[in-house]
A and B are shown apart, each in its own frame.
Chain A
Amino acid sequence: SAVISQKPSRDICQRGTSLTIQCQVDSQVTMMFWYRQQPGQSLTLIATANQGSEATYESGFVIDKFPISRPNLTFSTLTVSNMSPEDSSIYLCSVEDGQRTYNEQFFGPGTRLTVL
């Protein structure tokens, strides 16, 4: 399976500021995803990021708040904009293994964000 890294691993930010999270994969992948995991909760899909096209956002998430870049097949960024304490969560990127028939997803280690 793909090896996925995220930067930063954690951060503490002031409200009103923005943070950009990076996701790097050790192999080329078509599908990359960004999830949010609020404290003690399950995973919620924010958006799907495909190279060469605009990200597709899930209901409740908008591009102005969570802009995403996908410049190539091994890298993506998620920005959390104009942060508030409610944005305190773990943000996870995942990739889909395109070699397989079904949608196996593999996750990065996550970015733990605290907004004061």
Chain B
Amino acid sequence: GENVEQHPSTLSVQEGDSAVIKCTYSDSASNYFPWYKQELGKGPQLIIDIRSNVGEKKDQRIAVTLNKTAKHFSLHITETQPEDSAVYFCAATSYDKVIFGPGTSLSVIP
């Protein structure tokens, strides 16, 4: 079955700097890759996603890239703000199953 790895597990950046979180997946049949942000005490929130036929997608300060050949995808957050502090989960979808990565705890230091 699908296996999703995520790095780093924790990330601390200064406000205004960029943050990058990387994920790899194992199942070449995976075709949809969402990213979720989970703030303390809340459920995960879908923040951006990318389909397998697209290499890059951007939404304001957030961008996601996908390399299908290498089976890895990344989340890029530019101009980080304290409210970006949260746990971020990547996921890969294969045959209607969504498999989540272990998560990255991002801290943005004011």
CA distance A42 to B100 in the complex (A): 7
Residues in chain A near residue B42, CB distance under 8 A: 109-110
Report A97-116 residues with CB < 8 Å from chain B CB.
Answer: 102-110, 112
CA distance A41 to B34 in the complex (A): 18
Q: How many residues of A contact B (CB 8 A)?
A: 17
**CB contacts between A and B, total, < 8 Å:** 42
In the complex, are the beta carbons of B101 and A42 less than 8 A apart?
Answer: yes
Binds A, one of B44-52, B64-72, B74-82: B44-52
Consensus secondary structure, chain B interface: strand
In the complex, are the beta carbons of A109 and B32 less than 8 A apart?
Answer: no
Which residue on chain B has the smallest CB distance to residue A33? B98
Residues in chain A near residue B32, CB distance under 8 A: 102-103
Provide the B87-107 mask, 1 if CB < 8 A to any CB of A, else 0: 001000100111011110000
In the complex, are the beta carbons of B98 and A45 less than 8 A apart?
Answer: yes
A62 within 8 A of B: no
Residues in chain A near residue B96, CB distance under 8 A: 103
Residues in chain B near residue A42, CB distance under 8 A: 89, 100-103
**Which residues of B are interface residues toward A (Cβ below 8 A)?**
31-32, 34, 36, 41-46, 49, 51, 89, 93, 96-98, 100-103
